[in-house]
Each structure stands twice: as structure tokens, then as C-alpha cells.
Amino acid sequence: MRQELMSLPKGLAEDVSRNLVMVAQLIDEDPEKAYEYSRVALRLASRVAAVREAAGFAAYATQKYSEALAEFRAARRMSGGVELWPVMADCERGLNRPERALAMAGEPETQKLDKAGQVEMRLVAAGARRDLGQLDAAIVTLQSPELASSAVHPWTARLRYAYADALLAAGREREAREWFAKALEADKDGATDASDRLAEMDGVEFVDAFDEDEVDEDSDRGDVVDVDVDVDGDDDEDDDFDEDDSDDSVGDKS
């Protein structure tokens, strides 16, 4: 990307770079804001492949699949690479065209992908099968040497998770639990919610430490209750004291 930006005038390159940095920083936490920055970069340098790619991912993150697909196609024409092939196929799924996604999985471009790209393509193809209601075919699609391998790669947790989810959808609960556990074992970065799925299957429920409704009710009644105590058997005001309400906090989502 840096080499592409170097072809731009210095000031323009700096402006584009700043916007692309913001896209990268915000795309997970605030995709709408990331999308806004991507549009600025696109207006400034639409002939730079890295800008078109960033704009594509920002549109994809906000589920603007038609726009994302157009940007990915433009970036691919400029760069000549195939690494965007899986996400382009997933855009077809987002546009309710799973058949096109499956057709792309069978194109020669898939064979040119690196191992990570081929796994992504397999995940997209399995998803397309599920879109079509073909659960058994989705399960078979995910069965591969990468799934069977005990080695852990950046994509291992997601592959195992997708397999477990497909098994569960097909009613194969025992196998699904086994693969959710394997996904959790490989998920060092929290890329999936495998732990939650396992807990759900085991009937484990998580409860908030504080029940906000009860706390609100207590605050409505007041924080302090005045209690008059007649210690000496008379009504001397000096003998009165304030007793703290013991209901101020309630100890009880995953």
C-alpha cells in the first residue's frame, strides 16, 4: 500500500493514509464511522487499489454488499491478485445469491489462493450450502485435511466452529459439542463464541452480579431509613439514631 501511495503527491498521500488508518482502527468497533472515512479516502484516491479494497471492507462491514462487491472487483482489476475471491463470494451470499458463491468456489481462482484463502473459500461455500438448505452438503464441504489436522492456525477455530454449528443444525448434538470444544481449544483470540455455545448446550445460565431493577426499586424508596429507638424508656431525641438501609445493594449475562 505504501508504494501505491507514494505515486500520489505528498500532501494527498498523507491525507489518504490518515483516512485508511482510521478505517483500520474503527472497522471492528464502529463500522459506520469506518465507512465514512473510507468514502473520504475513495474521493481522494479512487485509482489506488488499496483504497478500493479498504472501501470494500468498510462497505462489507456495514452489510452494503453490492457496493462492497463493486469495490473488491475494482481492487482486483487493479492489483491482479486473487486474495479477495472468498470475500467477493461471500458478498454474493449477502446479496441472496448463494448459487453464484458456489460457482465461484469452483473457479480456477480458488486453486490460486494460499491455504488461508482456500479455508475461507471453504467456509463461504459451506455457508452457501446452508443458505440453500443443504445441511449435509455443508457438513461434507467443511470436512477436509485442515479440519482434521491437530495443528492450530489463525483460521482453525473458525473452521471448527463452522463445522460444529452445521452439525448442531443437523441435529447431531453430541458431535457438535465435541467440535465446539475443539474450536474453543484453538480460539486463543476470542474469534468465536464457542464457550457460550458450549455453556448453552450444557444448560449453564449466567446471571448478572447486579439486578438493576431491584437496585432501582431500592433507590426509589430512599437510601436511609430513620428508626426511632427509645433506649431509656423515654422519648429523648438524643437517643434517636439513623440506621443504614441494608437493601442498598443486591448481590445476585453472560
pTM greater than 0.75 (yes/no)? yes
**144-151 contacts at long range (C-beta below 8 A, 24 or more positions apart):** 146/115, 146/119, 146/122
Which amino acid type is present at position 147? L
Report residue 14 as a C-alpha cell.
Answer: 498523507
Report residue 52 as a C-alpha cell.
Answer: 478500493
Strand partners, 227: 241
CA distance 192 to 150: 18
Which amino acid type is present at position 52? R
Strand partners, 243: 225
**pLDDT values of the chain reduced to their tens digit, one per residue, 254 residues:** 556 676 777 888 899 999 999 999 999 999 999 999 999 999 999 999 999 999 999 999 999 999 999 999 999 999 999 999 999 999 999 999 999 999 999 999 999 999 999 999 999 999 999 999 999 999 999 999 999 999 999 999 999 999 999 999 999 999 999 999 999 999 999 999 999 999 999 888 766 555 555 445 544 544 443 434 343 444 444 444 344 443 443 334 33
| Among 119, 125, 195, 124, CA closest to 156 | 119
CA distance 229 to 243: 10
CA distance 173 to 85: 33
Q: Within its chain, how far is the Cα of 114 from the centroid?
A: 23
Report residue 236 as a C-alpha cell.
Answer: 429523648
| Among 79, 81, 87, 80, CA closest to 104 | 87
| CA neighbours closer than 13 Å in the CB half-sphere of residue 78 | 17
Task: Report the sign of the C-alpha dihedral through residues 70, 71, 77, 82, in that order.
Answer: negative
